[in-house]
Chain A
Amino acid sequence: MSDPRQDLLAAEHAAVWLFATLGGRVSRSAAPDLADALTRAHQMHRARRDQLTAELSAEDAEPVPAEAGYVLPNEARTTVQLAAAALEVESRCTAIYSAAVARTSGAGRARAVRALVDSAVRQLTFGGVPAPLPGA
């Protein structure tokens, strides 16, 4: 069975790239709240990516590399499209964290639970609505 942290790292690579791309397209003057939310999301996913990479490297495991690029969920041209794309990216992360909860134990699971809760709440900043079981 593969290390679930590699799946998380692959997802974080994608999230970092996608949120950076979306953040580069948003107008900070026209949509300041969305711009701030994209910046925060990018920073959070980058921190998680770096933590996972460092952790795996410290164990002499080879961290899964980032792809050269990722496919945006939509055209991501308008503010509405950008928010929808961001919500889709964050929702995918929520699902990945949820799967990681099932595949880990101990400290790894505790971290996955924290990431799941954080990601679920972040969905709201991109127009998501509360769900009974986010990510499940």
Chain B
Amino acid sequence: MALLPAALLSAGCEWGPDDSGPTVVSPPAGTPAVDSDVTVVEQAVAALSAAHATVSVGPGRKRARAQFLVLHETHLEHLGEAVPAPAADLTTATDATGWRSVVRTERDLQDTLASLAGAADSGALAQTLAAMAAGTAQLLASHTAGPADV
């Protein structure tokens, strides 16, 4: 699972402690702290997988849902994770409530990815997670232009 941290190590990316203030991160002299970033990646994978399961079920807005599912899959692949199998559609929600759930789920996912970007020790991992949050925000914005969508 921890393909990304391993890739970061081999790429010689910047590592440093997470502290307060907008300070420059200097690579420490010793071995990078991989363990905490493995946890960060695991949390990101869990959040993406949970969102994937939520968005894959429900009625309506199939094209938009499909775009979110592709985005989740792309992000999971970036984290070195296998793409989950699609869930069976067992929901009885209406189109409107189903879509509201998708929007809520994606907003929560965006916040989680942004928060995990802040928690990562590795600058490269932080950059990737922040870009994932930005990608989620972009797709959300492209589908929630009108107040009726939210």
Which residue of the partner chain A has the closest CB to B116?
Answer: A113
Known: A103-B24, A105-B18, A136-B131. A130 touches B126 (CB 8 A): no
Please tell me if the beta carbons of A133 and B78 are within 8 angstroms of each other in the complex.
Answer: yes
Query: Once A and B bind, how many residue pairs between them come within 8 Å at the CB atom?
Result: 125
Known: A103-B25, A108-B23. A130 touches B131 (CB 8 A): no
Can you name 7 A-B residue pairings with CB atoms under 8 Å?
A: A104-B25, A106-B22, A113-B114, A117-B134, A130-B142, A132-B71, A135-B130
The yes or no answer to A49 lying at the interface (CB within 8 A) is no
Nearest CB on B from A27, distance (A): 23
Which residue of the partner chain A has the closest CB to B14?
Answer: A102
10 additional contacts, CB 8 Å, given A104-B25, A136-B127?
A4-B24, A98-B131, A101-B126, A105-B19, A117-B114, A117-B134, A130-B71, A131-B135, A132-B135, A133-B128
Interface residues of B in 105-150 (CB under 8 A from A): 110, 114, 117-118, 123-124, 126-128, 130-135, 137-139, 141-142
* Chain A residues in 8 Å Cβ range of B74: 132
The yes or no answer to A16 lying at the interface (CB within 8 A) is no
Please report A residues at the B interface, Cβ cutoff 8 Å.
Answer: 1-5, 55, 94, 98-99, 101-114, 116-117, 119-121, 123-124, 128-136
